[in-house]
């Protein structure tokens, strides 16, 4: 324990295939925009982050959501989670990783799977408002790895307001997940990711001609090639292997000190065996691992009137088990117990 032996998720008839579960929501799901109020905050290194808020409940409890690779705050899976949380009384905040809000970030660096310092900046800003007694976290895919790594890196030094977390479809071992996506059957996903990443690199070339080039970029077909050429050097890593090792959440899952649910479907085409941390969940009473037989990558499709997928219902149900328990403090009295910085 706490392995979740029997998941409550059952796919609709005809939707048991992992690739179908992955692709169908991307192509067909329409969700109204919930987090409509944008705020821009500065980062300690001179960049910015765009935060999208919904405070219509005027709640003392906030849900912070972190999107996946090449996603944004407006992705249907993010906004559907915001809608489910809002229906259950939360205020919600969907933040955009650097360069993902529709405007290029200022610096040559961008975001990556282990950039926990940016999540810490968002949480620090929220705490500074003094409005929230309780902050919960939800992360998707890359954002799930980032969330888990933040929790593991902080351990018992988490800000007191952080209550519980839920993550979905998490490549917590980046090396094995990257190799998994190199398989021919997953070529469609790799092509899609690299297409948008190339666009961003070429935009940065114009602004940083002495730091970034596109020599050989069009021939790249794998994350190893892209991360060796761009992600690693732009973020202070020696190469892709070092980046994957240092940015993976798997080595720090043992240190997670708050109730945290990790949900990854067994038929997720993005995840290799190492991304299912069974032993870590058995040893850490705070880490709950749920592995539905089906669900794909950020799928978990359900057809119902509120257009609420199982993942959204599951997150709300898990987080509601842990009620508000901390008193608010004035912004001037809030320490920063977990000090994270870039690698």
Name the band, by pLDDT with cuts 50, 70 and 90, for residue 278. very high
Among the options 67, 112, 235, 297, which is catalytic?
A: 297
Please indicate, yes or no, whether residues 204 and 216 belong to a single structural domain of this protein. yes
Identify the residue with better confidence: 338 or 123: 123
pLDDT digit string, tens, across residues 223-251? 999 999 999 999 999 999 999 999 999 99
Task: Specify the pairing of strand 48-54 against strand 91-95.
Answer: antiparallel
pLDDT digit string, tens, across residues 11-48? 999 999 999 999 999 999 999 999 999 999 999 999 99
Contact residues for 14 (Cβ-Cβ < 8 A; gap 6+): none
Q: What does the pLDDT read at residue 258?
A: 97
Name the band, by pLDDT with cuts 50, 70 and 90, for residue 154. very high
State the total domains in the chain: 2
Tokens standing for residue 290: 């749920």
Q: What does the pLDDT read at residue 305?
A: 87
User: Any catalytic annotation for residue 297?
Assistant: yes
Name the band, by pLDDT with cuts 50, 70 and 90, for residue 5. confident
How far apart CA 188 and CA 263 sit, in angstroms, is 23
Please indicate, yes or no, whether residues 311 and 237 belong to a single structural domain of this protein. no
Please indicate, yes or no, whether residues 178 and 305 belong to a single structural domain of this protein. no
User: Any catalytic annotation for residue 214?
Assistant: no
Q: Identify whether 165 is part of a domain.
A: yes
Identify the residue with better confidence: 305 or 132: 132
Please indicate, yes or no, whether residues 70 and 168 belong to a single structural domain of this protein. yes
Domain finish residue from 189, 220, 247: 247
How far apart CA 316 and CA 98 sit, in angstroms, is 27
Q: Identify whether 335 is part of a domain.
A: no
Please indicate, yes or no, whether residues 221 and 276 belong to a single structural domain of this protein. no
Name the band, by pLDDT with cuts 50, 70 and 90, for residue 326. very low
CATH of the domain at 131: 3.40.50.1820
Q: What does the pLDDT read at residue 330?
A: 44
Please indicate, yes or no, whether residues 165 and 66 belong to a single structural domain of this protein. yes
Tell me, yes or no, if the pTM score tops 0.85: yes
Please indicate, yes or no, whether residues 104 and 144 belong to a single structural domain of this protein. yes
pLDDT digit string, tens, across residues 295-304? 999 999 999 9
Domain finish residue from 195, 220, 247: 247
Q: Identify whether 334 is part of a domain.
A: no
Domain finish residue from 247, 277, 306: 247
Q: Identify whether 343 is part of a domain.
A: no
User: Any catalytic annotation for residue 191?
Assistant: no
Among the options 141, 169, 248, 311, which is catalytic?
A: 141
What mean pLDDT is predicted for residues 203-229? 94
Residue-range definition of the domain harbouring residue 265: 3-172+250-329
Pick from 244, 253, 225: which is nearest to 343 by CA? 244
Mean pLDDT over each residue of the chain, to the nearest integer? 94
Q: Is 181 helix (H, G, I), strand (E, B) or coil?
A: coil
Among the options 136, 268, 294, 313, which is catalytic?
A: 268
Q: Is 275 helix (H, G, I), strand (E, B) or coil?
A: helix
Residue 329 has pLDDT above 90, yes or no: no
How far apart CA 224 and CA 222 sit, in angstroms, is 5
Task: Specify the pairing of strand 61-66 against strand 134-140.
Answer: parallel
């Amino acid at each position: 324990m706490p392995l979740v032996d029997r998941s409550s998720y059952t796919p609709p008839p005809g939707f048991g295939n992992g690739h179908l579960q992955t692709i169908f929501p991307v192509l067909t799901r329409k969700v109204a925009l919930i987090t409509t109020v944008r705020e821009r905050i500065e980062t300690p290194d001179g960049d910015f982050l765009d935060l999208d808020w919904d405070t219509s409940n005027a709640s003392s409890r906030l849900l912070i959501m972190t999107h996946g690779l090449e996603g944004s705050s407006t992705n249907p899976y993010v906004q559907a989670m915001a809608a489910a949380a809002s229906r259950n009384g939360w205020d919600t905040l969907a933040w955009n990783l650097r360069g993902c809000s529709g405007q290029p970030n200022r610096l040559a660096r961008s975001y990556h799977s282990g950039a926990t310092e940016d999540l810490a900046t968002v949480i620090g800003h929220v705490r500074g408002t003094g409005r929230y007694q309780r902050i919960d976290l939800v992360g998707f895919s890359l954002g799930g790895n980032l969330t888990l790594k933040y929790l593991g890196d902080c351990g018992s030094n988490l800000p007191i307001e952080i209550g519980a977390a839920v993550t979905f479809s998490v490549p917590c071992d980046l090396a094995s997940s990257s190799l998994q996506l190199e398989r021919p059957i997953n070529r469609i996903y790799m092509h899609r990711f690299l297409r948008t990443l190339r666009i961003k690199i070429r935009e940065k070339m114009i602004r940083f001609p002495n730091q970034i080039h596109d020599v050989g970029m069009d021939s790249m077909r794998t994350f190893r090639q892209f991360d060796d050429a761009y992600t690693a050097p732009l973020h202070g890593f020696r190469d892709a292997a070092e980046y994957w090792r240092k940015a993976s959440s798997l080595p720090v899952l043992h240190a997670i000190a708050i109730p945290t649910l990790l949900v990854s479907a067994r038929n997720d085409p993005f995840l290799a065996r190492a991304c299912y941390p069974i032993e870590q969940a058995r040893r850490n009473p705070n880490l709950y691992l749920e592995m539905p037989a089906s669900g794909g990558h950020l799928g978990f499709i359900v057809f119902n009137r509120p257009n609420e997928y199982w993942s959204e219902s599951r997150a709300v149900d898990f987080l509601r088990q842990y009620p508000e328990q901390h008193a608010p403090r004035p912004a001037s009295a809030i320490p920063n117990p977990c000090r994270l910085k870039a690698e």
